[in-house]
Amino acid sequence: MSETALSNINFHALAQPLHDWYLLKKRQLPWRDNRAAYRIWISEIMLQQTTVQAVIPYFERFIIRFPDLQTLANSDIEEVLQLWSGLGYYSRARNLHKAAQLFVENGGIPSTFQELLKYPGLGDYTSRAISSIAFDEKVGVLDGNVIRILTRLLNYQQEWWKTEHKKYLQGVADSLNQFEFPSSEINQALMELGATVCLPQSPLCNQCPWSDNCLAQSQKSISEVPLKRKKTPNQIWYWQPEIYTQKNQVLLEKNTKLPFLKNQWLLPGKCSKQEDRPQNYDLKHFITHYNIYVKIKRHESAKALRLYSNQQWFDIDEIKHVNPSSLLSKCFSNSAAKSK
């Protein structure tokens, strides 16, 4: 299906019913009570890769402990990581903390997506979501949910992940925001529609404000759009971490070699990519497409050890704050169980 030129689409006729529907159907969510940029920013970072239902209790606890930008910027990163524990993707929490300090230094959270893009953890989608929801900047948002809705609406059977097609869809999302309706509402309407009506499987078309406009529905091609992207093939890795302890401390190394958990503190040890699953391992752990098989070696003494510049001793009690990844905690539990 070829692209319909943006100038041939009646965007006002699409924005109006979408906006009306949102005002009637929107869910009450804690970050919708108050559109302070700080709250919108925290909610958008938490919502990356995480469902609304999972985020709600974390958001509420976080806002009670860190009610404003200044409090977050002055806080200890370990306390931020502790409150984040269980949400996963911990680089989000580290970037959030760094960005809070930079926002304070620069006089607050910027109101345009172009400015927001300069801060850690803020990509195109999140910057646009924050500037439009908190400041009504007239820009569209494009994430997986929005891509699904727009490709179905236009029966757009293109490889949406390619730059030129993404650009077209971004143009569609931006065009929906050029009218009298606040961008905070238009963009949240699209997010809401993707989460509650235009579902990946079995969309509820009879509840959709665009059911009269949707080309995929009228052309009976909903199951074909958006086109499916080929999955990254799984990779097998064999990791042989070494546990050195002294007094109440354990040796960790800043990871610059392994393709997973990059730049995080991990146990030192060899790692190699394999063709097949190794025979001899203590535990396995999956991170996205990395299937990691782990064989742990525990050393009784660290006396003869010479430390490299990327290695450091950490208190054992501190480890879950330094790196909350469950891979590390699994290694310690496994090793403790074997030494009993």
CB of 20 to ligand SF4, least distance (A): 15
Give residue 213's identity as a one-letter amino acid code: N
Q: Cβ-count burial of 148 within 10 angstroms (0-12 exposed, 13-18 middle, 19+ buried)?
A: buried
CB of 19 to ligand SF4, least distance (A): 15
User: CA-CA distance, 100 to 82, in Å (whole number)?
Assistant: 17
CB of 142 to ligand SF4, least distance (A): 15
**Catalytic site includes residue 44:** yes
Complex with ligand SF4: residue 205 or 287, whichever CB lies closer: 205
CB neighbour burial string for 150-189, b if at least 16 within 10 angstroms, e if fewer: bbbbbbbebebeeeebbebbbebbbbbbebebebbbbbbb
Residue 165 near residue 159 (C-beta atoms within 8 A)? yes
CB of 160 to ligand SF4, least distance (A): 15
44, 137, 192, 253: the catalytic one is: 44
- Structure token pair of residue 289: 């497409």
E strand intervals along the chain: 235-243, 245-246, 249-254, 265-266, 269-274, 283-287, 290-294, 297-298, 311-315
Interface residues with ligand SF4 (CB under 6 A) are: 149, 152-153, 197-198, 203, 205, 208, 210-211, 214, 216-217, 222
Complex with ligand SF4: residue 228 or 247, whichever CB lies closer: 228
Catalytic residue numbers? Answer: 44
